[in-house]
Structure 1
Amino acid sequence: MSHLIFALGVLLLMFASSLAGLALARLLPSHHLSKDSAKAIRLAIGLVATIAALVLGFLISSAKSSFDAINNDLVHNAANMIRLDGTLAQYGAEAQPLRATLRRDYGEWIDLLVARGSARAAGLDSPGIILRMEQFEHDVAMLAPKDDHQRALRARALAIADDVFASRSLALLQRGGSLPQALMFVLVFWLAIIFGTFGVLAPRNASVIVAFLACALCASGAVFLILEMDTPLDGIVRVSIGAMRDALARMGGV
């Protein structure tokens, strides 16, 4: 919700800047808006617009990369959960309690990811998650292999478990986003200047005002998508957990 509010604020700021530019044009002496003056202003603001477009494209690309990285991590995690459960199943009856624990903890993890509100944040940040990961790895290490086959399966299970928990910890660390806030505020400032300059140079009629509103809406929508994709575990635009649910459904089988 905070991202939506920020995007609405950006929309209002840019639209207000364009209206302020239209109002300012009435107060300026005529020679300030002469053909030569307008040409110079367009050249100057064109440079700012080009820089803003490059930064906007960079932020969209960076946010999309963060979104895809988290999504791939969760899919990889789901695949490893199936591998880990299968490895424990091959180990034998001694590992059945561990498989039950694994399936229960994974189901709770999925529920936390899809939940919303303060309870979700508290659950994801709970030290108990780390302790349960460590306890599970300890229990796997404490298995007593009876032959070389079980010994190899235990070593494989430990390696997969370490990979699973590492990717889960990585997803938690990345959920806050990596977008520099200062860069976003500077971009918004540039956009406000650009829209204000457009207002100064544009004719004053209803069509121009509607066009400014539409352009401001598009630009604020881009800002909204950047913020949402930069935090793929929160907000409205979130990574899919379909692969995780499929993995959970396949775990625990014979």
Structure 2
Amino acid sequence: MSQLVIAMIAFLCIFSTAMLGLYLRCVLPEHHLSEESSNAIKLATGLIATIAALVLGLLISSAKSTFDTVKGDLVHNAASIVRLDRLLFQYGPPAQELRATLRRDYALWVDLLASDDAGRTARLTNPEISARVEAFQRKVAELSPTTPAQREIQARALRISEEVFAARSLALLQREGSVALPLLVVLVSWLAIIFGAFGLLAPRNGTIVVAFLLCALSASGAILLILEMDTPLDGVIKVSLGPMREALARLGH
């Protein structure tokens, strides 16, 4: 289910309960909405609102942390790719074919990340990608250094290639996000209860309806923001591929 669909469902649940509260205000007996009853509802709603605010803040913080982690991994990955290419250049002519392979495979990786194709996820996890990674590392290990400097370069290249592909795997593992759907269901339920109580205690007029509409949009917008940042490789809010494209432009030169 896409992030926008989930946010729309949250909006409908929250705004509908607010309208239900306005309707119930008109049909409930007066003693149900006495001052004592209203105070009790406000206290209970305040407790739920405090819990919901805490959970919402924690989710935003967690999603932002995920976004920053993936962004940092991709930037580090781009820097490591450039270092790996320079090491292969220093190794000499026997590694030139490996440099071309590295540039070709990295260009494919960047294109897949930038693509909006619906089948992109399947292509990112395609066994062929892993096979290319293993083949590249195997070719680096099969180099036959003839000098101490080449042996040192080969060892460093193997180490950096392992870092590069480990960072790539980590980014793929985090593409689905870490926010659990049951937690979102509970959060939306709390928000629905809060808005239902607001509707129950508010006078029924156009201004109140518009205010509830805007507040419900804001709440669902916060949920959308969480989901977007929690999936930094997909959606509207995605990590910038600028550093990766810059690294790609420097490969082979």
Fraction of identical pairs, as percent: 60
Corresponding position of 2:40: 40
Q: For 1:182 and 1:201, locate their aligned partners in 2 and report how far apart those are by CA, in whole Å.
A: 29
Moved more, 116-125 or 200-209: 116-125
Q: CA deviation at 1:139?
A: 0.1
Corresponding position of 2:200: 200
Mapping 1:1-254, distance limit 5 Å: 2-253=2-253
- Give TM-score scaled by structure 1 length: 0.98
Moved more, 114-123 or 205-214: 114-123
Q: For 2:211 and 2:118, locate their aligned partners in 1 and report how far apart those are by CA, in whole Å.
A: 40
- Give TM-score scaled by structure 2 length: 0.98
Q: CA deviation at 1:117?
A: 2.6
Q: For 1:218 and 1:129, locate their aligned partners in 2 and report how far apart those are by CA, in whole Å.
A: 41
Question: Which secondary structure state, in structure 2, belongs to the residue aligned with residue 235 of structure 1?
Answer: coil
Q: For 1:123 and 1:182, locate their aligned partners in 2 and report how far apart those are by CA, in whole Å.
A: 29
Q: For 1:32 and 1:68, locate their aligned partners in 2 and report how far apart those are by CA, in whole Å.
A: 49
Q: For 1:177 and 1:15, locate their aligned partners in 2 and report how far apart those are by CA, in whole Å.
A: 26
Q: CA deviation at 1:42?
A: 0.2
- Residues 132-175 of structure 1, C-alpha deviations (whole Å, 9 max, x = no match): 11110000000010100000000000000000000001111111
Counterpart amino acid of residue 247 in structure 1? A
Q: For 1:61 and 1:227, locate their aligned partners in 2 and report how far apart those are by CA, in whole Å.
A: 12
What residue ranges of structure 2 are gaps of 5+ in the alignment? Answer: none
Q: For 1:42 and 1:121, locate their aligned partners in 2 and report how far apart those are by CA, in whole Å.
A: 46
Counterpart amino acid of residue 224 in structure 1? L
Q: CA deviation at 1:205?
A: 1.0
Q: CA deviation at 1:122?
A: 2.0
Moved more, 116-125 or 226-235: 116-125
**Hey, which bits of structure 1, 4+ residues long, moved more than 2 A?**
none
User: How big is the alpha-carbon RMSD for the aligned residues of Structure 1 and Structure 2?
Assistant: 0.9
Counterpart amino acid of residue 244 in structure 2? M
Q: For 1:248 and 1:195, locate their aligned partners in 2 and report how far apart those are by CA, in whole Å.
A: 50
Q: For 1:122 and 1:9, locate their aligned partners in 2 and report how far apart those are by CA, in whole Å.
A: 27
Q: CA deviation at 1:237?
A: 1.0
Q: For 1:182 and 1:107, locate their aligned partners in 2 and report how far apart those are by CA, in whole Å.
A: 38
- Residues 180-218 of structure 1, C-alpha deviations (whole Å, 9 max, x = no match): 111011000111111111000001111111110010010
Counterpart amino acid of residue 171 in structure 1? A
What residue ranges of structure 1 are gaps of 5+ in the alignment? Answer: none
Q: For 1:119 and 1:37, locate their aligned partners in 2 and report how far apart those are by CA, in whole Å.
A: 55
Counterpart amino acid of residue 248 in structure 2? L
Question: Which secondary structure state, in structure 2, belongs to the residue aligned with residue 140 of structure 1?
Answer: helix
Size of the aligned set, in residue pairs, is: 253
Question: Which secondary structure state, in structure 2, belongs to the residue aligned with residue 118 of structure 1?
Answer: coil
Q: For 1:90 and 1:211, locate their aligned partners in 2 and report how far apart those are by CA, in whole Å.
A: 65
Counterpart amino acid of residue 228 in structure 1? E
Q: For 2:64 and 2:50, locate their aligned partners in 1 and report how far apart those are by CA, in whole Å.
A: 21
Q: For 2:114 and 2:8, locate their aligned partners in 1 and report how far apart those are by CA, in whole Å.
A: 25
Q: CA deviation at 1:116?
A: 1.8
Q: CA deviation at 1:118?
A: 3.2
Counterpart amino acid of residue 192 in structure 1? A
Q: CA deviation at 1:119?
A: 2.9
